[in-house]
Structure 1
Amino acid sequence: MKKHIILSLIALCSVLQLYAKEVEVSSPDKTLKASLTLNSKGQLFYRIFKNGQQVLEYSKLGLIRADQDFLHQLKFVSVSKPVKVTDHYQLAVAKRFENNYEANKLVFTVSNAQKALMEVIFQVSDDGVAFRYHFPNKSSGLKEITSEATSFNFPAEAKAWLQPMAVAKTGWSQTNPSYEEFYEKEIQVGTPAPLKAGWVYPALFKSNGTWVLITETFPDKDYCGTRLSTESPAGEYTVTFPDQREVIPGKALNPISTLPWYSPWRILAVGSLKTIVESTLGTDLAKPAKIKNVADFKPGISSWSWVMLKDDSTVYDVQKKFIDYAADMNWDYCLVDADWHKKIGRDKIAELSKYAQTKNVALILWYNSAGNWNTVPYGPKDFMLTEASRDKEFAWLQSIGVKGVKVDFFGGDGQSMMAYYEDILTSAAKYGVSVNCHGSTLPRGLQRTFPNLMTMEAIRGMEFRTFEQKDENVAASHIATIPFTRNVFDPMDYTPMALGGVPRFERGTTSAMELATAVLFQSGVTHMAETPTRMAKAPAYVQDLLKHLPKHWDDIRFVDGYPGKYCVLARKAGNKWYIAGINGEKDSKELNLDLSFLPSTSITMITEGKDAMGFSSASLQGSTKVKVTLNPHGGFLMLSQ
């Protein structure tokens, strides 16, 4: 009888909620909640609560199609009961190989003034909230979305870590936007974007003591990439569409599709810094693999001459030395950069690839994404533009044993440009070729859908430190921001590890900090910046560690840190844990690290010292509570057996 009364009260509450047009869906652990409201004017809003504390205030939902308004005068149709959704997947190009996702799903359906339907689908997991739009009706003709009203409305006192969006067609050879600006750190919400083109994902916020990281999933060839608005009055950030120039000329900019139609997921990881850094929501919500030959694509480490030696190094003899270097270091690849077709030639590249294979090394070759969206003089170009030309080029690469391509200088986030990434990945997969995208957008979980996507740049990486002293001056704080933002969900081709510093400039990081970035940063293929000549000067114990560096990671643990100031992360491979720590500030730090998750108290630590290149090595025994000193702009790398 008591149970019957309780169930009746629950049902009554549900009915009252429907009449009030307000519903809630909570995470499996009940600590996170999303609340949806349809107000008296027929407008949709949502809020997010963590442990009963409001993290996101009333934020807008809805959008405008060219043929229909799904923002105003909406009427409630139905709401589903929350249902449990689960997923399990493996992903080598990620911070965790085995991944589990569990969330509660709710579908809220409304109709507009023309009685057309729109569903808003919410999924709430223990580590975050995701939602997307769905038009369930059918159409034979194309529909276009002209704007989204989706917003993220933070309390006025919240802080943000945001990367400005570069204006299209600016920068060297009109190559922007390339997601290569510095993050603005701990700024007041509501601060306008300095470049007037908005803010990019991932966007990090601290709201009422809770951290929130916002991103989205990659569109399925039927949507554009989005960003956050330039203006965010009172802390409300709106989803906006790309600049009209961010397209393949003559092709789609804004979202266009037939019905039915799903939008990409809008994703908010919510919780502590540990929750944010360890979250896999960016791939949990991504589409499963579209290719069958997943095992053909191997993560690994690559040598690379260009970042330190520049254009003159792209010649046969130098590349042969970098192949030998990769072989000596037990690395998998050697990247041959721009203009190889002129400076080496296709016949000699085939010869070089054959030589590399005798060393158990595979080549990766550079290509210009081409088209008329940039004026970059480097080639080869035009090979990626059509399916026929891609098939011909990838077939040749396969025939000479080349395993990867680096495609550079894409043109933005319009729908047609976003579809171009998938076209390249689809063609490459047929021939067993992996892909690295540079001058590109953010992966947005695309590495799960296409496991031959090894990495994407979308970061102000090492190369900028070789251009100007000002980049080297702020390198440490930039590095200390990235593990909490850009590199949380997606692989990132920063091209780390200048152990001997950057030529011509005063150092902004120590050698130990540079060594730590080899573990701190995650990328399917990690292109190491250090040269063979300087690597030979490193202590034997540093070289030995790098020769046995894992090709991919099984797990991750956040140990300590604060965005822009310092970070300590642990990554697991097999039964070994690698713990990387870096200091982004000019003052030393004393840290007491809790390493109780380690299976052993036998720890080797490499940090600052007086050995070659400024290293020292020590053995730490007997405790999982470790006290360490982080030198100014310094770091360490630990290995637990």
Structure 2
Amino acid sequence: MYRRILLLLSLCFAGLVQAQQAVRLESPDKLLQLKLSLSESGEIRYDLTKSGVRVLEPSTLGIVMKEHNFSQGMKLLSASDPLLVKDDYQMVNAKKSNIHYEAKQLIVSFANAEGKQMDIIFRLSADGLAFRYYFPWVNQEQVIEREATSFHFSTAARAWLQPMSKAKEGWNHTYPSYEEHYEQDIPAGTMPPFHSGWVFPALFKTNAIWALITEAGVDEHYCASRLINDSLSSIYRIGMPDPKEVYTGGGYLPVNNQPWYTPWRIIAVGSLKSIMESTLGTDLARPNVLKDISFVKPGKASWSWINSKDENITFQEQRKYIDYAANMHWQYCLIDVDWDTKIGYDSIKFLSDYAAKKNVGIILWYNSAGDWNTVEYHPKNRLLTHEDRVNEFSRIQGMGIKGIKVDFFGGDGQSVMKYYLDILKDAAAYQLLVNFHGATLPRGWHRTYPNLVSAEAVLGMEMVTFSQHHADVQANHCAMLPFTRNAYDPMDFTPMNLNKLTHSQCTRKTSAAFELALSVLFLSGIQHYAESPEGMAEVPDDVKNFLRTLPDHWDDVTFIDGYPGKYVVIARRSGKHWYVAGINGDTTERKMNLDLAFFKKGKATLYTEGRNGALFSKDEFNVSKEKKRDLMLPANGGFVIVLE
């Protein structure tokens, strides 16, 4: 009886609050404002403004379970006092090494028509909004059928979005794998070409303010989601995966039988500089759960497959690439498909021992697949169960192997998410680094499981070797990725072909200086480079030395200039040295006016477009005397400046 009276009083209070005012929250700098309200039908709505300018029109919130509806008929129970939340953490696989997060938190509790409770936890920081749902009463299996979460943009908004491909289509039924070109500067409301939605991160510009939408904190109970919209509607909603995107025998919808936190929905807001320097994608991820991360060492790797393909996965070729990595002072060498039969476990052990003497660690490729695709590459079916993984991981750990590359996953369903995380947990127990390919966006997993050093989830350099169309538009595509795919999560684009493509009918259209810039612009815990030993032999010694001493991780980032798909200039710091890299992704030359006074450094070395047939030109100057530098970059061109 006492609880019933309390509930009635709280519902009366909620009605009073509804009638008098909405719930509001401000960011710590008071520039972002969140407003939360209920419609007459009990639909939860929120809107977001930046300095008084609307970013999102009133948008909906809510969850629909199989047996419980939390999207209509909702009543406000209570709203907490705003709480300042702070977090300091370290990363060795991100745009910054020491990260400080600060946000105002608000927890708002609602009840549905049954009286069941749903909390929404909001966090508003200087660089954006994050929120997630919490169900404290769950104690038996519940299934979420859909989210009512939406993002309502102005009809005048523009968007830069990657389409989600259709499940189980494409080469050997391996879609979706986040490997499509971006639709750029399109009107909000444009329908996706494959009618399967849009992938995260999704970039919008509305009222001269940029917004980047993504998610973090996806665990084994939830699926990975996407954005979907109706024809000509500028309202984007959270969408669930295709029912075919499952681990064999598993489900695709979120399922849980205990008190339940859903993933964070994240909207980074502000200028391009604010978004490019934001760390929200890891700020909201679950903190590191591994007890020992001493084995997690970022670095660079040689890799034969990108140039010499399947037929050269041989003992001699891989030994050559180990020597190449050692000569370049790179820490790893990746041995790709079919190594188990073309080389064999015993000879891989010999190569691993040989590499260890040269301070090079071996990474081995695996096919993830059960029956979710028809790819014949192997080793296959050796990671499907915990017992399989223990047997394989203990074996290769005993061989001195440092990491695995696991390819061709089954999509974004809940059971596939669990499979990803099970691999990460078991790999960590055997001190193995992990690189996912043919995979989903990591969504901050590299903070939770630092042994996740990279993931593909991108139309990468290999596509440039397959199709001249991809080679023709590579520069534009690369100029999109720092603003979207690589904004928060490590990306295994496998960049930097400095000389020329081999074993390919395609002609690379980017310059050597453009390719060199990608070694700084793109973020990956292990960067697998697309240059061959023969190609590197043609590179000037000063550029080779640059690549020998290039940092393996970064301490800080500064966005200097750029526009999605057009051009980008980013500075990254390691220790006391700054590296400034830029590329021109446009079809015409671009003049870049660089103000270097911020860096307060003396000696600077510029690597840019070669002259008279040379791959590069090099120029040294003093920043204290020459604080500004004008560069004229050709289409598909680039540069790197090292500030000491």
1:262 aligns with 2:265: no
Contact 1:36 1:44 in 2 (8 A): yes
Deviations 1:484-523 (A, max 9, x none): 0000000000000011133432332111000000111000
Whole-Å separation in 1 of the counterparts to 2:571 and 2:187: 31
Deviations 1:377-410 (A, max 9, x none): 0000111111111011111111111100000000
2:58 alignment partner AA: Y
SS of residue in 1 equivalent to 2:482: helix
Superposition pairs of residues 105-184 of structure 1, within 5 angstroms? 105-139=105-139, 141-184=140-183
1:511 alignment partner AA: A
Instruction: Name the counterpart of 2:526.
Output: 525
Contact 2:466 2:506 in 1 (8 A): no
Instruction: Name the counterpart of 1:45.
Output: 45
Contact 2:229 2:235 in 1 (8 A): no
What is the RMSD computed on CA atoms of the aligned residues? Answer: 1.3
2:488 alignment partner AA: F
Instruction: Name the counterpart of 1:4.
Output: none
Instruction: Name the counterpart of 2:463.
Output: 464
Instruction: Name the counterpart of 1:216.
Output: 215
Question: Displacement of 1:230 after TM fit?
Answer: 4.6
2:73 alignment partner AA: Q
Which structure 1 residue ranges, 5 or more long, are not aligned?
A: 1-13
Deviations 1:506-550 (A, max 9, x none): 332111000000111000000000000010101111111001111
Whole-Å separation in 2 of the counterparts to 1:468 and 1:60: 42
Percent identical among aligned pairs is 49
Contact 1:21 1:76 in 2 (8 A): no
Superposition pairs of residues 424-573 of structure 1, within 5 angstroms? 424-503=423-502, 504-573=505-574
Whole-Å separation in 1 of the counterparts to 2:507 and 2:593: 31
Superposition pairs of residues 270-419 of structure 1, within 5 angstroms? 270-419=269-418
Deviations 1:170-227 (A, max 9, x none): 0111000000000100000000000111000000000100000000014121111000
Contact 1:218 1:443 in 2 (8 A): no
| Shift in CA distance, 84/56, structure 1 to aligned 2, threshold 3 Å | same
Contact 1:218 1:225 in 2 (8 A): no
Question: Displacement of 1:231 after TM fit?
Answer: 2.5
1:581 aligns with 2:579: no
Instruction: Name the counterpart of 2:9.
Output: none
Question: Displacement of 1:21 after TM fit?
Answer: 5.4
Contact 2:500 2:535 in 1 (8 A): no
Contact 2:464 2:508 in 1 (8 A): no
1:624 alignment partner AA: K
2:359 alignment partner AA: N
Question: Displacement of 1:19 after TM fit?
Answer: 3.6
1:223 alignment partner AA: Y
| Shift in CA distance, 21/415, structure 1 to aligned 2, threshold 3 Å | farther
Which range moved further: 412-421 or 500-509? Answer: 500-509
Instruction: Name the counterpart of 1:23.
Output: 23
Deviations 1:12-55 (A, max 9, x none): xx997554451111110011111111111100011110010001
Which structure 2 residue ranges, 5 or more long, are not aligned?
A: 1-13
Contact 2:166 2:175 in 1 (8 A): yes
Contact 1:598 1:624 in 2 (8 A): no
2:523 alignment partner AA: Q
With the length of structure 1 as denominator, give the TM-score of the two structures: 0.96
SS of residue in 1 equivalent to 2:161: strand
Contact 1:499 1:613 in 2 (8 A): no
Aligned length: 627
Superposition pairs of residues 229-248 of structure 1, within 5 angstroms? 229-231=228-230, 233-248=232-247
1:100 aligns with 2:104: no
Whole-Å separation in 2 of the counterparts to 1:422 and 1:582: 35
Deviations 1:286-316 (A, max 9, x none): 0011111112110000000001110112100
SS of residue in 2 equivalent to 1:512: helix
Whole-Å separation in 2 of the counterparts to 1:604 and 1:400: 42
Whole-Å separation in 2 of the counterparts to 1:81 and 1:501: 60
Contact 2:144 2:254 in 1 (8 A): yes
| Shift in CA distance, 398/612, structure 1 to aligned 2, threshold 3 Å | farther
Contact 1:369 1:384 in 2 (8 A): yes
Instruction: Name the counterpart of 2:630.
Output: 627
Contact 1:594 1:625 in 2 (8 A): yes
